[in-house]
């Protein structure tokens, strides 16, 4: 318990010490799951659960899962097998263990998870995390609980905010989910089914959360959403705000020096947001803007609703207002019907854009999505070969991007101790680790540094 909470209690009044229950949370998938895991931990803390990173000590094991590709989803079941053994072992010592599955596999598969692994006590979907404490009580009474209805109430409003001491312990960078769900229905993707339709959090709620983060020492906030740039809300002026306007508002909060947002859809990059990249120094020059493929035929089959040329034009416009903008992206190879020529178009697009970083995947058919029912699936060996070629090209571009930093002066947010004693690690505007001597400043400082040497992905620097 925080000392502050005990401070005003008279001696003798303090509750007898109760051994706190422990929760082990394992997070798979995207940053939104990372954020959700923290909010669930905050909610559980109110119920007396302390976090642990030793699974064998946990009274509650919570897996926050991802359904995006088959491999991600299957990993959960092998992990559950191991946890079942752990539960049995703890039971032999008279200890209770509740096993909970949260996240997108929970939403997509629901009760099926308990059918496949009977040791699971609790399945809870991403829209109902505010009901976790209640669901947990039921599970501890021996009920098998499945909570996967899309909630009508706003989960964020009902989830307790983290206590200041907890936020302080979490460092100087933070995620803040502003938007959830997706209405785009790309034909390969499960997200519209696991996260439901697009919902934006209200401005006041977001500003209040960002202020709390800033008070706890956070300097850099990354706004999150499956389609973060589709965020919109009513501002205090009564007008309709888009993400660009929201970023301007958040930049006014004392202490917040850097802002980012992810993940964006090319269709939702409006003028206001592009102008924010021109006008707002706090908005970091790094944009994750997935395109998935470079062939118009495949983009159409994917239901991305834009052409390759639209994407290139967009990148051009963004770089015109922010010339140091580094681009990041996601790619899928081997979508049904993808020919060699289609794949070449993807390589061509990559060569044109020059990515600083990118994520690429082999197409994985997901049950319930239109892509899975398409007939002209690409052979696994072809997917492998394409992925290798694409990753080689993207890897080259990433290394070129990092190598070009040598000799430059950049800003770095010092955010953690280094692996070697006497070192600190900072973060460049382009998300590269920047290694400096510990005399360069303190965690939370933003300093100007000169890059003396570059590694594969990290930068070595000296303060100026």
Work out how close the CB of 332 gets to ligand SAH at its nearest, in angstroms, rounded to a whole number: 5
Q: Does 227 bind ligand SAH (CB under 6 A)?
A: yes
> For residues 391 and 406, what is the distance between their CA atoms, to the nearest angstrom?
24
> For residues 97 and 119, what is the distance between their CA atoms, to the nearest angstrom?
10
Q: Does 308 bind ligand SAH (CB under 6 A)?
A: no
**Residue 103: contacted member of ligand SF4, ligand SAH, ligand F3S, none (CB under 5 to 8 Å, by partner type):** ligand F3S
| Mask for 168-207, x = binds ligand F3S (CB under 6 A) | ----------------------xx--xx------------
Q: Are 336 and 363 spatial neighbours (Cβ–Cβ below 8 Å)?
A: yes
Closer to ligand F3S at the Cβ: 73 or 214? 73
Query: DSSP 3-state assignment of 425?
Result: strand
Q: Are 274 and 318 spatial neighbours (Cβ–Cβ below 8 Å)?
A: yes
For residue 25, the tally of other CB atoms under 10 A from its CB is: 23
Q: Does 328 bind ligand SF4 (CB under 6 A)?
A: no
> For residues 280 and 450, what is the distance between their CA atoms, to the nearest angstrom?
23
DSSP H helices in 333-463: 340-353, 380-403
Task: Give the pair of three-digit tokens for residue 367.
Answer: 């049950």
Rule CB under 6 A: which of 153-212 touch ligand SF4?
182, 184-186, 189, 191-192
Q: Does 261 bind ligand SAH (CB under 6 A)?
A: no
Select the span of 43-51, 187-195, 245-253, 384-392 touching ligand SAH (CB under 6 A): 187-195
Q: Does 66 bind ligand F3S (CB under 6 A)?
A: yes
Of 67, 131, 232, 265, the one binding ligand F3S by CB under 6 A: 67
Rule CB under 6 A: which of 220-239 touch ligand SF4?
226-227
Q: Are 459 and 433 spatial neighbours (Cβ–Cβ below 8 Å)?
A: yes
For residue 308, the tally of other CB atoms under 10 A from its CB is: 20
Work out how close the CB of 59 gets to ligand SF4 at its nearest, in angstroms, rounded to a whole number: 34
Closer to ligand SAH at the Cβ: 227 or 357? 227
Write down the residue that tokens 């959090």 correspond to: 201
**Residue 22: contacted member of ligand SAH, ligand F3S, ligand SF4, none (CB under 5 to 8 Å, by partner type):** none
161 Cα distance to chain centroid: 19
Select the span of 25-33, 117-125, 253-261, 429-437 touching ligand F3S (CB under 6 A): 25-33
Rule CB under 6 A: which of 32-61 touch ligand F3S?
32-33
Q: Which of 62, 13, 12 lies closest to 33 in space, CA to CA?
A: 62
Q: Does 104 bind ligand F3S (CB under 6 A)?
A: yes
Residue 313's contacts (CB-CB under 8 Å, 6 or more residues apart) are none
Closer to ligand SF4 at the Cβ: 227 or 364? 227
| Mask for 254-273, x = binds ligand SF4 (CB under 6 A) | -----------x--------
Q: Are 130 and 153 spatial neighbours (Cβ–Cβ below 8 Å)?
A: yes
Q: Which residues of 352-371 are buried (b: 16+ CB within 10 A; e: fewer)?
A: ebebbbbebbbbbebeebbb
Work out how close the CB of 227 gets to ligand SF4 at its nearest, in angstroms, rounded to a whole number: 6
Q: Which of 388, 335, 326 lies closest to 355 in space, CA to CA?
A: 326
Site residues (CB under 6 A) for ligand F3S? 29-30, 32-33, 66-68, 103-104, 190-191, 194-195, 226
**Contact positions toward ligand SAH, by CB under 6 A?**
68-69, 188-189, 191, 226-227, 263, 265, 290, 292, 330, 332, 361, 363-364, 366
């Amino acid at each position: 318990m925080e000392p502050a909470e005990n401070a005003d209690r008279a001696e003798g009044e303090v509750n007898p010490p109760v051994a706190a229950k422990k929760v082990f949370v394992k997070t798979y998938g995207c940053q939104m799951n990372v954020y959700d895991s923290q909010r669930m931990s905050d909610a559980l803390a109110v119920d007396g659960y302390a976090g642990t990173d030793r699974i064998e000590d946990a009274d509650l094991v919570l897996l926050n899962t991802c359904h995006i590709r088959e491999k991600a989803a299957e990993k959960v079941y092998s992990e559950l097998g191991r946890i079942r053994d752990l539960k049995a072992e703890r039971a032999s010592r008279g200890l209770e263990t509740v096993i909970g599955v949260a996240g997108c596999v929970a939403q997509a598969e629901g009760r099926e998870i308990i059918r496949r692994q009977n040791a699971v006590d609790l399945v809870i979907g991403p829209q109902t995390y505010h009901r976790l404490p209640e669901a947990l009580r039921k599970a501890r009474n021996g009920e098998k609980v499945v909570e996967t209805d899309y909630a009508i109430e706003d989960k964020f409003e009902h989830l307790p905010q983290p206590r200041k001491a907890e936020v302080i312990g979490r460092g100087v960078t933070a995620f803040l989910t502003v938007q959830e769900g997706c209405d785009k229905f790309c034909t390969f993707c499960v997200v519209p089914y696991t996260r439901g339709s697009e919902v934006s959090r209200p401005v006041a709620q977001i500003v209040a959360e960002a202020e709390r983060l800033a008070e706890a020492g956070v300097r850099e906030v990354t706004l999150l959403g499956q389609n973060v740039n589709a965020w919109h809300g009513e501002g205090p002026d009564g007008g309709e705000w888009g993400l660009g306007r929201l970023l301007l508002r958040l930049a006014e909060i004392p202490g917040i020096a850097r802002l980012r947002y992810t993940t964006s859809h090319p269709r939702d990059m409006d003028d206001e947001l592009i102008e924010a990249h021109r006008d707002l120094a706090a908005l970091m020059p790094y944009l994750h803007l997935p395109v998935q493929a470079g062939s118009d035929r495949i983009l159409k089959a994917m239901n991305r609703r834009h052409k390759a040329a639209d994407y290139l034009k967009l990148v051009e416009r963004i770089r015109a207002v922010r010339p140091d903008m580094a681009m990041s992206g996601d790619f899928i190879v081997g979508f049904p019907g993808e020919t060699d020529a289609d794949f070449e178009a993807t390589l061509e697009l990559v060569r044109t854009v020059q990515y600083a970083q990118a994520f690429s995947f082999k197409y994985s058919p997901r049950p319930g999505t239109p892509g899975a029912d398409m007939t002209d699936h690409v052979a696994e060996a072809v997917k492998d070969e394409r992925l290798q070629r694409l990753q080689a090209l993207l890897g080259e571009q990433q290394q070129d991007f990092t190598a070009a930093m040598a000799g430059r002066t950049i800003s770095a947010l010092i955010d953690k101790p280094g692996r070697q004693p006497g070192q600190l690690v900072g973060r460049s505007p382009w998300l590269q680790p920047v290694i400096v001597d510990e005399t360069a400043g303190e965690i939370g400082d933003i300093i100007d540094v000169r890059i003396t040497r570059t590694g594969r992905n990290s930068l070595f620097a000296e303060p100026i």
